Amino acid sequence: MKSKSNSSLTSVCKKAKPKIILLALPFFILLGLNACSNSSEHAEEVNTPTAGNLKIYYDEGMALHLKNQIFTFEALYPNAHLQSFQSSEDEAVQALYHDSCEAIMISRPLHSKELKAFESKGFFPKYSTVAKSGLALITNKQTNLLQLNFDQIKTLLAESYSIKDSSGKEHTLKVLFDKNSSSVLHYVIDSLLNGKGPGPQCNILTSTQACINYIATTPNTIGFIDFAWLSDVDDSIYKANKDKLRFIAVSSQNHKNLELPSPSSFKLGTYPFTRGVYIYRKTGDFTLAKGFESFVAGPKGQLTFLKQGLLPTHQNERSVHITTEK
C-alpha cells in the first residue's frame, strides 16, 4: 500500500511541475519589463550640461539664429536633444513660468511684474545677454524712400505718411508688422507709441516670412521686422530678396546720425532701435539649460552670431604685435 501511495504522489508531483513553471514565467517577464521601464525612465532623467533633453521657447525674430545654435550644439554633444518651440515673447515667458520649458530666448529683459511672479513661486531666473539685434524697417526697392527721422516714423505709425514717386505722384505708405503679439509689435507700441496701438494704415500679417514676401512684391509698403531675419548675407532668405528689398536709414529723436541696422551701429550705439538678445533659464548650474546658455554665450556660439550678421555680446580680443627691423 505504501509503495502504491508513494508512486501516486510522485506521479502527481511530476504533473504539477510544468504548471508551476508556466505560472512563474509571466512573473519573471513582468520583472524584466519593469526593469527595462525603470532603465528607460532613468535614461530620460539624465540632465547634465552636455546631455539630456531640453525644451526652448523663443520669439519668432530669433528663429534662424537659434536653429543654427542648436544644430552646432547637438553636433558637438550627440547626447543632448533640444526641442525649440516658436512663440511670442509673452508666451515664452509664460511657458517658463508654468514649467512648460527650461529655457527661453527673447529680445527683452523680464519686466518687474514678471520677476515678482517668478519670485512668488520661489524661482529666480538666471540669464545671459548673448547678442544684439534691432528693429529694422524694410521697403521695396521701387519705393521712393531711403530714410526716415524719428518724428516721421511716429507719424507713419500713428496716422499716415505720404511720399511722391519719380513722376511726382503721391502715395500713402502702407505699414506691415510680422505677426500679432510679436516682440517687434510690442517694441513699437511701448517705445514709439507710448502704449497706444498703431494706426488704421497698419496691418499685421501671420509671420515675418509673409511680411518679407509681401514687401518684396509690393512698392510703397514698409515692413517692421527683426533685423535678425535678414542679417545673414549667406542665408537663402537674404539671397532671395537682396535685389527686391532695402533697409531704411533711421535717426534718433535728435534727428542726427541717420543709421542702417548693422553690427557696427549696434556696437557704437548709434542705431536707435537696438535690442539685446537674452537667454533665460530657471534650472541649476549643472543642467543642460545651463550648458546650452554657456555655449551660446561662449566662443563658438558668439562666433556663430558674428557669422550670421549679429553683434555678439562677447568678442575675443586679438593682440597684434608689430616689430620693425633696423
**Cα–Cα distances in angstroms (integers) from residue 28 to residues 15, 25, 33, 80, in the given order:** 22, 5, 9, 34
Res. 194: pLDDT tops 70: yes
Among the ranges given (76-85, 163-172, 194-203, 277-286), the one the predictor scored with the smallest mean pLDDT? 163-172
pLDDT in tens, 95-139: 999 999 999 999 999 999 999 999 999 989 999 999 999 999 999
pLDDT at residue 10 in the model: 43
Q: Estimate the share of the chain in helix, then strand, then coil, as percent rounded to the nearest 5.
A: 45, 25, 35
Alpha helices of 45-62 — where are they, by DSSP H?
A: none
Q: For residues 20 and 254, which has the higher predicted lDDT (pLDDT)?
A: 254
**What pTM value is reported for the model?**
0.81
pLDDT at residue 283 in the model: 87
C-alpha cell read off for 290:
545651463
Distance (Å, whole) CA 274 – CA 297: 19
Res. 321: pLDDT tops 70: no
- Candidates 223, 242, 217, 227; CA nearest to 173 is 223
Distance (Å, whole) CA 171 – CA 218: 13
Res. 287: pLDDT tops 80: yes
C-alpha cell read off for 294:
554657456
Res. 262: pLDDT tops 50: yes
Residues 281 and 126: beta-carbon distance below 8 Å: yes
When pLDDT is averaged across residues 245-263 and rounded to a whole number, the result is: 90
Counting beta carbons within 10 angstroms of the beta carbon of residue 273, is it exposed (0 to 12), middle (13 to 18) or buried (19 or more)?
A: buried
pLDDT at residue 306 in the model: 96
Question: In the 8-state DSSP scheme, what is residue 281?
Answer: E
Q: Which domains does the chain carry?
A: 52-132+276-312 (3.40.190.10), 133-275 (3.40.190.10)
Q: What percent of the chain has pLDDT over 90?
A: 75
Secondary structure (3-state) at 87: strand
pLDDT at residue 184 in the model: 96
Q: For residues 60 and 315, which has the higher predicted lDDT (pLDDT)?
A: 60
Q: What percent of the chain has pLDDT over 70?
A: 83
pLDDT at residue 256 in the model: 76
Res. 8: pLDDT tops 50: no
pLDDT range class, residue 36, cuts 50, 70, 90: very low
pLDDT in tens, 202-212: 999 999 999 99
When pLDDT is averaged across residues 77-93 and rounded to a whole number, the result is: 96
Checking 92-96 for CB contacts under 8 A at 24+ apart, the result is: 92/57, 92/58, 92/59, 93/280, 95/57, 96/57, 96/125, 96/280, 96/282
Residues 98 and 55: beta-carbon distance below 8 Å: no
